[in-house]
Structure 1
């Protein structure tokens, strides 16, 4: 393959004939990439049906493949999206934390697909700061985007970015825009790659009008670790500010605020939440601390699930259109999210950690005639692999400097013998929202080694080792345990190997002092944290 010529040729008018297109246009499948924000496996019934039914997401799994070990490289929104665009870790693509700005001039898979003859489009959440490049059409949320009446950025008649306001519920607006492009704007003579990307179910979990009272008559089961006190782990777990107990604010809990709603929307909202809030505020003076936490958990998790429900509805509309238009048989549908999320596990909301709930993202792939229906893969895949997979699907050669691997062979039922056995994770955003320490680590899917190296500007050197078979809730730090000495040595070796392989630089931190590992302390009340 002529992979090393690819980057230089992207700007050339003859690029499509030279970049290693290995299939005719008629044979090349369409790619529909459906992406959500902060959607965990625990809230998708193809993985876990104890909280919600997601029949349309499940349809993708039932007609395709479910991946049980899809790991993110850096568990926050912007960095995950940059990894997908480039097929490179954060320290290589330059987007490390959410306040960074993505350099859109670098090679990305949409540019390569477009150069090879695909029509490319993106609708929904972008969250990379810069204007999207490599897309024939873009209509993206401005910044994080609200749940109601979103401003969105698209190109005007001269190709310049312009912001336009919309009225309605964001999830439904994004679905309508995706359908409009598929029905009315795409070139039927070209294969397409559409990125249909939701804001939901990101904080602060504002449901659609039709779901404001859905689940009111249900009690969602509490996770085993809702009242975790963080004993037996490093100081980092206890010092976060993402607990349901302390850190959900009144806006999160729908006790105040209406965000960007208009008067009509506010009236519907207050009719639904007003009586529920009044009942809680009246009872709260006589509630125990545990009862208050339980109420917060129910309010939070139900609103989260309500947001997921609207996403699932929209996915159903799009899948139905593919069927009606005769496109389903030649369209690969991929569903995923930027990382996982905590639905009360360890007493938390949010993500960031290398613990399982946020490390793992859902990944479902339907490829008619290729992927065996109802198949399940335990192979370790990642958002690092998405760009390479999309290019491989399209018959476009993958650049050598991309750091992931195409999982097309896995989709075809043939996991390569040399497929990765170990995965590297790295989180950088501290100081920052929720005070999650900077850390990196390695996992083989059954054991995990994590090093925490910076917390609030202080250099630390804290380690955790978890045996996921015997301790699936990750409550017992086995680092230094004689029972785990051999696996610890193996993981330490693999961690160093992967840091060298991916050319991970030494991280720059503000050094106050080097402190020894300290025992856990019980968490004290903290002010509420907002944002990502």
Structure 2
């Protein structure tokens, strides 16, 4: 057995098979020739039979903006290339991220681990080369590995054979126009400045890797990561006319939030609605999409004399059109990559996966961005095309982003490492059937309490029937709540859009008891209950949530509301 750069080779002893009929000298020469022939005939064939794996991820591309998932935007057909993959592959209807924010979700996909264990709980998380597990395991399996596009893990992707990733602007977020990349070279890294829109530049870079840098004698594993449609939704000029004359339908719950939310998000009498959760309209006093002091030039052109209802509609139309124009740019560039695979005869032997790094709000509940534990934010599009084994259809099996690495490794012929929390769902993709032992719930934990878009710290568990949420209201290193702790329960069978919080309905008491038990078990399995996180003290203190806990939460709400209410009235500096 030999070991070269982590790849183990086992060379079987062949001499005894023909020793008696040949002299020793001829035997050695014959064996050398025979070994070469074996490698040429069978080794190369085996390498070709291993599927290539293309993992495509668009930043913040939510399932509501994928035609294959239906909904109010499906008729607009913003991504026909993605939809064509869905028509020839498996659509996972219940794919969820465990932490809906860029860096943590990417880390979970790459490690197969929860945020608490891989160390990337927020946007400052770093994933060093030794913990870029998926790349290491793919290389051991004989794959040539590469990542192109948005990385955003605050370290170099040194575990990959090749990388060319966005650098600068928010720790690796990169620019939409004329972006700068860090590209791996034989000795270190070089900076490369490209001209044009990032989606075009990323696709160009991937095609250059295919044509000039890839080893054609190995199966490839390419992670192709688009920056778009991440805010601020800067699309290429050629898409300016796309949807220009279309009035995009609004979600019904954008203007009427009904019984959505709780003390933890609204306050006792709704007084926190103006300071929690960035909005499309003017609900949030400082974080909204109509603010003339905002970063977008279009906001300055809004007629601020319009009523709240009118200006909300204007803001929504711009928000959606800019977002979908970015999606169109991603889809067109994905088509360029697929066309190349077809032209080179690689398409049919490539497992193609399309996803986003999390979900995203498109006006639902008058929210923008992601982070929240609700459907629009938790759910990820996940589509797989591989006609050789993946069934055409849809599955409602619950899968999480920690399951993505094990599933890709399974296609590469690698068993899931013990250090990964996730499990392979390859069998679900190939049969459409959910094993009896498969998980029945998805876990969620948003750690970045009230940072940037003003979403409180929270945990959740989601089954096919229900979702239970606890807002605990503090940062991971804090042992006291700053926003009011509260619980929410949604009956997804009767309320798929989560408009009616039924936590206080006594008819659901037994459901809540079971879900809390499942939530506690899952947290332990994922290392989320580690006492090193001070916020777990708050989670435990408000777990049972009787009258005493509720009264304490009201006090916290009143204190927070007074403090933030004054701040919200100040003008942006």
Given candidates 279, 283, 288, the residue that maps to 1:243 is 279
Q: What is the 5 A alignment of 1:224-373?
A: 224-229=252-257, 231=259, 233-237=261-265, 238=273, 239-246=275-282, 247-248=288-289, 249-250=291-292, 254-255=296-297, 281=302, 283-285=303-305, 287-373=306-392
Question: Which residue does 1:86 correspond to in 2?
Answer: 111
Computing the radius of gyration over CA atoms, which structure comes out larger, 1 or 2? 2
Shift of 1:378: 0.3
Question: Which residue does 2:28 correspond to in 1?
Answer: none
Assess if the C-alpha contact under 8 Å between 2:3 and 2:9 holds in 1.
no
Deviations 1:458-515 (A, max 9, x none): 4253111110121222122111312212211211111111112222224324999986
**Number of corresponding residues:** 494
Assess if the C-alpha contact under 8 Å between 1:234 and 1:517 holds in 2.
no
Gaps of 5+ in 2: 11-42, 266-272, 283-287, 542-548
Q: TM-score, normalised to structure 1's length?
A: 0.87
Given candidates 403, 414, 423, the residue that maps to 2:442 is 423
Judged with a 3 Å threshold, the aligned counterparts in structure 2 of structure 1 residues 484 and 397 are, in CA distance, closer, same or farther, namely same
Given candidates 70, 80, 92, the residue that maps to 1:67 is 92
Question: Which residue does 2:470 correspond to in 1?
Answer: 451
Question: Which residue does 1:271 correspond to in 2?
Answer: none
Given candidates 112, 119, 122, the residue that maps to 2:137 is 112
Structure 2 SS opposite 1:474: coil
Assess if the C-alpha contact under 8 Å between 2:165 and 2:183 holds in 1.
yes
Relative CO higher for 1 or 2, CA cutoff 8 Å, sep ≥ 6? 1
Deviations 1:265-315 (A, max 9, x none): xxxxxxxxxxxx89x54x543x21110111011111100000000001011
Gaps of 5+ in 1: 1-8, 257-276
Question: Which residue does 2:394 correspond to in 1?
Answer: 376
Judged with a 3 Å threshold, the aligned counterparts in structure 2 of structure 1 residues 11 and 241 are, in CA distance, closer, same or farther, namely farther
Shift of 1:244: 1.1
Q: TM-score, normalised to structure 2's length?
A: 0.81
Question: Which residue does 2:228 correspond to in 1?
Answer: 200
Deviations 1:380-420 (A, max 9, x none): 01111111011111012221121000111011114211110
RMSD between superposed Cα atoms in Å: 2.8
Structure 2 SS opposite 1:146: coil
Structure 2 SS opposite 1:320: helix
Structure 2 SS opposite 1:516: helix
Question: Which residue does 1:269 correspond to in 2?
Answer: none
Assess if the C-alpha contact under 8 Å between 1:102 and 1:128 holds in 2.
yes
Question: Which residue does 1:161 correspond to in 2?
Answer: 189
Judged with a 3 Å threshold, the aligned counterparts in structure 2 of structure 1 residues 495 and 509 are, in CA distance, closer, same or farther, namely closer
Given candidates 128, 137, 141, the residue that maps to 2:162 is 137
1:392 and 2:416 equivalent? no
Question: Which residue does 1:265 correspond to in 2?
Answer: none
Q: Residues of 2 paired with 1:203 and 1:232: CA distance? A: 25
1:148 and 2:148 equivalent? no
1:439 and 2:458 equivalent? yes
Assess if the C-alpha contact under 8 Å between 1:440 and 1:450 holds in 2.
yes
